[in-house]
Amino acid sequence: MQFVTAHGARIPALGFGVFRMSDAEVEQVVPAALEAGFRHFDTAQIYGNEAALGRALGASAVRRDDLFLTTKVWGDNYSADRFAASVDESLDRLGVDQVDLLLLHWPGDKVPLADQIGWLNEVQASGKTRFIGVSNQNITQLRQSVALSTAPIVTNQIEMHPYLDQSAMLAAAAPSGTTVTAYYGMADGAVPKDAVLQEIGARYGKSAAQVALRWLVQQGVIALSKTARPERVAENFAIFDFALSNDEMALISGLARADGRLVSPEGLSPNWNE
């Protein structure tokens, strides 16, 4: 496993996400993920499966100190009376006293960013999370968050895959030492079917999905993988025994297109061009 370091955080470069997974799927696949070597797990309040993830991790023999656990506060809880209380509820569901990383899930358009960051700082100061970050922010919002926050913003978790050019975000995040965490790396199923990625993978005995994950981590990005099928977990993890050439990296980046963004819910998403 490779690690990404930022502001004292040492984050496994490959994480396991449980978005759109039922409790049963989480409890079935997480043991396989742990066996494969995953130690970084990513969930969120809105996923509805924090408790299932907590049970699966708690039942394992892996020590809590060896895990990196992330969850996210949903926008409905962006208020003075709900923010900290919702984090307490998340910790209870996860069966831990503290998460490693707590993120604002979406910026939304109802609550000032200064308030969101203020509540995030308060929770971090209370010891309920080791590190804090944001998710789905545009460049302007990320810069504002860094300026507003009394604690370092460790990451911005965003949609990132070969069809969406996020080079501007990577460049904007670097000066503050903020990392980028990539979700939707399979582009909703398009990546495994991509002929270019399949061809590159064939050179290394790897799948197109493995090539895309390698492309992400080779840029210094933290990549979240996902599968509900235990038999596929080991494949997702096996991306650290090969390296893409500079030409291959450029070829994959060249797959980006103007309409590559897939996730942009109304009322939650910012103006991506800012």
CA–CA–CA angle 37, 135, 180 (5° rounding): 55
The pLDDT value given to residue 96: 98
The pLDDT value given to residue 241: 97
The pLDDT value given to residue 20: 94
Rg of the chain's alpha carbons, rounded to an integer? 18
Would 2 be classed as within a structural domain? no
Would 120 be classed as within a structural domain? yes
Hey, is 80 helix, strand or coil? coil
Q: How many domains does the chain have?
A: 1
Label residue 101 by pLDDT band (50, 70, 90): very high
Residue 162, both tokens: 């070969």
Would 208 be classed as within a structural domain? no
Label residue 197 by pLDDT band (50, 70, 90): very high
Q: Considering the chain, what is the average pLDDT of its residues?
A: 97
Residue 256, both tokens: 């980006």
For residues 274 and 267, give the distance between their C-alpha atoms in angstroms, rounded to a whole number.
16
Q: Tell me the mean pLDDT in the region 176-195.
A: 97
Would 250 be classed as within a structural domain? no
Residue 135 main-chain phi, psi, to 5 deg? -150, 140
Would 91 be classed as within a structural domain? yes
Q: Which of 138, 33, 54, 130 is nearest to 96 (CA)?
A: 54
The pLDDT value given to residue 203: 97
Active site residue 184: no
Would 265 be classed as within a structural domain? no
105 annotated ligand binder:
yes
Q: Which of 86, 127, 81 is nearest to 104 (CA)?
A: 86
The pLDDT value given to residue 47: 98
Taken in order 245, 37, 7, 151, the sign of the CA dihedral is positive
Would 123 be classed as within a structural domain? yes
* Residue that the structure tokens 């990383």 belong to: 101
Task: Say which of 47, 163, 183, 184 is annotated catalytic.
Answer: 47
- Global confidence as pTM: 0.97
Residue 39 main-chain phi, psi, to 5 deg? -130, -5
CB 152 within 8 A of CB 7: yes
For residues 73 and 83, give the distance between their C-alpha atoms in angstroms, rounded to a whole number.
7
Q: Tell me the mean pLDDT in the region 180-193.
A: 97
The pLDDT value given to residue 119: 98
The domain that holds 222 is classified in CATH as 3.20.20.100
Domain that holds residue 179: 10-186+217-228
Taken in order 203, 206, 208, 213, the sign of the CA dihedral is negative
The pLDDT value given to residue 146: 98
Would 82 be classed as within a structural domain? yes
CB 172 within 8 A of CB 143: yes
The pLDDT value given to residue 97: 97
Residue-wise pLDDT for 26-82, tens only, equals: 999 999 999 999 999 999 999 999 999 999 999 999 999 999 999 999 999 999 999
